[in-house]
Amino acid sequence: MKGARRSHGPLDYSRRLWVRITLWLSFAFLYAPIAILVIYSFNDSRRNIVWRGFTLKYYERAWNNDSLIQAFANSLTIAFFSTLFSVLLGMLTAVLLWRFRFPAKAPFEGTVSLPIIIPEICMGVAMMAFFTRIGWPVDLPWPLNLGAITIAHISFSFPFVAMVVRARLARFNREFEEAARDLGASEWQAFRDVLLPYMKPGLIAGALLAFTLSLDDFVITFFTAGPETVTFPVKVYSMVRFSVTPEVNAASTVLLLITLVLTTTAILLQNRSGRD
Amino acid sequence: MDSWRKNPLVFWVFAVPPAVWLLLFFLTPLALIWVFSFGEKSGLIDVHITWTADNYMRALDPLYLQIFLKSFWFAGITTAICLVVGFVLAIAITFAPGRHRPILLLLVMLPFWTNLLIRTYALIAILRTKGSVNAALEQFWGWGNGLLALLGVEHLQLLGDRFEPLHLLYNNFAVVAGLVYVHLPFMVLPLYAALDRMDRSYIEASLDLGASQLRTFRSVVIPLAAPGIVSGVIITFVPALGSFLTPDLLGGTDSQMIANVIERQFKSANDWPFGAALSFVLMYITFFAIALRSVWSARRDAREALA
pLDDT digits (tens, 9 = 90+) for B255-288: 899 999 999 999 888 899 999 999 999 999 999 9
User: Is A126 contained in some domain?
Assistant: yes
| Interchain CB contacts (distance < 8 Å): A and B | 250
Measured CA to CA, the distance from residue B167 to residue B241 in angstroms comes to: 24
pLDDT: is A13 or A5 the higher one?
Answer: A13
Statement to judge: residues A33 and A115 lie in one domain: no
The three-state secondary structure class of B228 is helix
pTM of the predicted structure, to 2 decimals: 0.88
Mutation target for B interface from A39, A48, A93, A100: give the one with most B CBs within 10 A. A100
CA of A18 vs chain B CAs: smallest distance (Å): 9
Query: Could you list the residue range(s) of the whole structural domain that residue A263 is in?
Result: 59-275
Q: Which pLDDT value is given to residue B233?
A: 94
Please tell me the least confidently modeled range out of B3-7, B86-90, B153-157.
Answer: B153-157
User: Is A177 contained in some domain?
Assistant: yes
Statement to judge: residues A132 and A7 lie in one domain: no
* Closest residue of chain B to A34, computed from CA coordinates: B122
Q: What is chain B's mean pLDDT, rounded?
A: 89
Question: How many domains is chain A built from?
Answer: 2
Statement to judge: residues A121 and A258 lie in one domain: yes
Q: Are the Cβ atoms of A129 and B1 closer than 8 angstroms?
A: no
Of A13, A22, A130, which is closest to B95 when you measure between CB atoms? A13
Chain A residues with CB-CB distance to B234 below 8 A: none
The answer to whether residue A1 scores a pLDDT higher than 70 is no
* Closest residue of chain A to B131, computed from CA coordinates: A49
CA distances from A206 to A6, A58, A258, A267, B37 (A): 47, 34, 16, 10, 35
Residue B19: which pLDDT band, with cuts at 50, 70 and 90? very high
Q: Which pLDDT value is given to residue A2?
A: 42
Buried b or exposed e, range B252-263, using 16+ CB within 10 angstroms: eeebbbbbbbbb
Q: Are the Cβ atoms of A49 and B184 closer than 8 angstroms?
A: no
Statement to judge: residues A34 and A65 lie in one domain: no
Strand partners, B40: B48
Residue B109: which pLDDT band, with cuts at 50, 70 and 90? confident
User: Is A158 contained in some domain?
Assistant: yes
Statement to judge: residues A12 and A114 lie in one domain: no
Residue of B171, B166, B168, B167 lying closest to B70 (CA atoms) = B171
Mutation target for A interface from B87, B118, B188: give the one with most A CBs within 10 A. B118
Please report how the helices A147-169 and A66-99 are oriented relative to each other, as an axis angle in degrees rounded to 10.
40
Q: Which pLDDT value is given to residue A205?
A: 87
Statement to judge: residues A95 and A178 lie in one domain: yes
Chain B residues with CB-CB distance to A215 below 8 A: 115
* Closest residue of chain B to A87, computed from CA coordinates: B18
User: Is A46 contained in some domain?
Assistant: no
Residue B111: which pLDDT band, with cuts at 50, 70 and 90? confident
The answer to whether residue A15 scores a pLDDT higher than 80 is no
Q: Which pLDDT value is given to residue A3?
A: 42
B2 phi and psi angles, rounded to 5 deg: -95, 150
The answer to whether residue A6 scores a pLDDT higher than 60 is no
Residue A7, classified by CB atoms within 10 Å of its CB into exposed (0-12), middle (13-18) or buried (19+), is: exposed
Q: Which pLDDT value is given to residue A244?
A: 65
3-state secondary structure chain A: CHHHHHHCCCCCHHHCHHHHHHHHHHHHHHHHHHHHHHHHCCECCCCCCCCCCECCHHHHHHHHCHHHHHHHHHHHHHHHHHHHHHHHHHHHHHHHHHHEECCCHHHHHHHHHHHHHCCHHHHHHHHHHHHHHCCCCCCCCCCHHHHHHHHHHHHHHHHHHHHHHHHHHCCCCHHHHHHHHHCCCCHHHHHHHHHHHHHHHHHHHHHHHHHHHHHHCCHHHHHHCCCCCCCHHHHHHHHHHHCCCHHHHHHHHHHHHHHHHHHHHHHHHHHHHHHC
Measured CA to CA, the distance from residue A92 to residue B16 in angstroms comes to: 9
Statement to judge: residues A172 and A268 lie in one domain: yes
Q: Are the Cβ atoms of B286 and A125 closer than 8 angstroms?
A: no
Please tell me the least confidently modeled range out of A70-79, A255-264, B273-282.
Answer: A255-264
Residue A70, Cβ neighbours under 10 Å: how many? Answer: 17
Percent of chain A whose predicted confidence (pLDDT) is above 70: 92
Report yes or no: A266 and B109 within 8 Å, Cβ to Cβ: no
Report yes or no: B86 and B94 within 8 Å, Cβ to Cβ: no
Mean pLDDT of A116-145: 90
Report yes or no: A161 and A184 within 8 Å, Cβ to Cβ: no
**Interchain contact B174–A (C-beta under 8 A):** no
Statement to judge: residues A20 and A156 lie in one domain: no
Residue of A38, A17, A35, A15 lying closest to A27 (CA atoms) = A35
The three-state secondary structure class of B49 is strand
Q: Which pLDDT value is given to residue A88?
A: 97
Domains and CATH numbers, chain B: 78-108+170-300 (1.10.3720.10)
B211: enclosing H helix or E strand: none
CA of B171 vs chain A CAs: smallest distance (Å): 16
